[in-house]
């Protein structure tokens, strides 16, 4: 974090690496994509070789067969690109007038007047997501960002152009009234729930350790003839 007029953070890996892996599987690691790349490479190479052979009849064809190595090289280059994107996380900068996200060679800027709604999803202390609904070219879009636990959520909420709705892991919402930053009541609730679980566990353990009442022979014999 730098100063009070903006907040900057690196998106945690748990928030974007699974999406990259899913994109890699959908784009490359499937039979349809590999088949299309192979067919496209084969047709392109055949057209190039045929055109050169027509233009230069004396050209030795075997010297051009190494062009077909472009197929595995395309896969290797794409895999390297995904590896770099996974190694370098996205960078997010939030200011009162805009939100900026950069990752690799791509970037996104959302101005304050484009914000439609914001939500904070608190799954655990180290699993917090910021969901932003914004309008771009007359279309509603959604941006989901992971927030590291080192970020002060009160300052994050104060910098957002629209007061967010905070949802805890059990889908109970906490409304933010009058634009006042929340005091993060979900943490206090979590501690109270943990204390309640401990009390119930201790009570159950004491009940198991206490001897069960013994039934007398008279009570057992009342039902005998």
Residue 179: give its domain's CATH number. 2.30.29.30
Evaluate if residue 219 carries a pLDDT over 70. Answer: no
Do 97 and 165 lie in a common domain?
Answer: yes
Out of 87, 119, 139, pick the residue that ends a domain: 87
Out of 53, 87, 121, pick the residue that ends a domain: 87
Do 71 and 96 lie in a common domain?
Answer: no
52, containing H or E segment: helix 31-55
Tens digit of pLDDT for each residue in 80-105? 888 888 889 999 999 999 999 999 88
Task: Look up the domain containing 21 and give its range.
Answer: 13-87
Do 108 and 135 lie in a common domain?
Answer: yes
Whether 8 is covered by a domain: the verdict is no
CA terminus-to-terminus distance, the chain: 84
Do 130 and 44 lie in a common domain?
Answer: no
Do 145 and 77 lie in a common domain?
Answer: no
Evaluate if residue 179 carries a pLDDT over 50. Answer: no
* Dihedral, 49, 50, 56, 62 alpha carbons, nearest 10: 40
Do 164 and 108 lie in a common domain?
Answer: yes
- What does the DSSP assignment read for 75-114? HHHHHHHHHHHHHS--EEEEETTEEEEEETTEEEEEEGGG
Do 159 and 118 lie in a common domain?
Answer: yes
Q: Are 10 and 88 in contact (CB under 8 A)?
A: no
pLDDT of residue 68: 64
Region 29-48: mean pLDDT is 78
Do 82 and 150 lie in a common domain?
Answer: no
Q: Which of 52-61, 155-164, 184-193, 197-206 has the lowest mean pLDDT?
A: 184-193
Spatial CB neighbours of 86, under 8 Å, sequence gap ≥ 6:
13, 17, 20, 21
Do 46 and 83 lie in a common domain?
Answer: yes
Do 115 and 54 lie in a common domain?
Answer: no
Which class for 112: exposed (0-12), middle (13-18), buried (19 or more C-beta within 10 A)?
middle
Do 75 and 111 lie in a common domain?
Answer: no
Structural domains of the chain, count: 2
Do 62 and 112 lie in a common domain?
Answer: no
Whether 17 is covered by a domain: the verdict is yes
pLDDT of residue 146: 93
pTM assigned to the model? 0.59
């Amino acid at each position: 974090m730098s100063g009070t007029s903006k907040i900057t953070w690196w998106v945690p890996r748990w928030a974007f690496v699974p999406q990259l892996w899913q994109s890699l599987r959908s784009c490359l690691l499937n039979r349809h994509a590999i088949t299309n790349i192979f067919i496209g490479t084969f047709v392109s190479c055949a057209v190039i070789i045929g055109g050169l052979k027509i233009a230069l009849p004396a050209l030795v064809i075997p010297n051009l067969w190494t062009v077909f190595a472009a197929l595995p090289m395309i896969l290797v280059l794409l895999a390297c690109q995904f590896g770099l994107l996974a190694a370098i996380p996205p960078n997010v900068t939030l200011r009162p007038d805009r939100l900026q996200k950069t990752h690799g060679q791509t970037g996104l800027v959302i101005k304050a007047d484009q914000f439609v709604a914001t939500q904070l999803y608190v799954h655990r202390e180290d699993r917090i997501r910021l969901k932003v609904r914004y309008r771009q070219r007359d279309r509603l879009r959604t941006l989901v960002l992971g927030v590291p636990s080192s970020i002060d959520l009160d300052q994050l909420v104060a910098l957002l152009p629209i007061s967010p709705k905070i949802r805890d892991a059990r889908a109970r919402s906490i409304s933010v009234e009058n634009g006042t930053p929340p005091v993060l009541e979900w943490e206090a609730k979590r501690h109270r729930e943990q204390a309640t679980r401990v009390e119930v566990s201790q009570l159950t353990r004491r009940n198991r350790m206490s001897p069960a009442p013994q039934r007398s022979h008279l009570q057992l014999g009342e039902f005998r003839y």
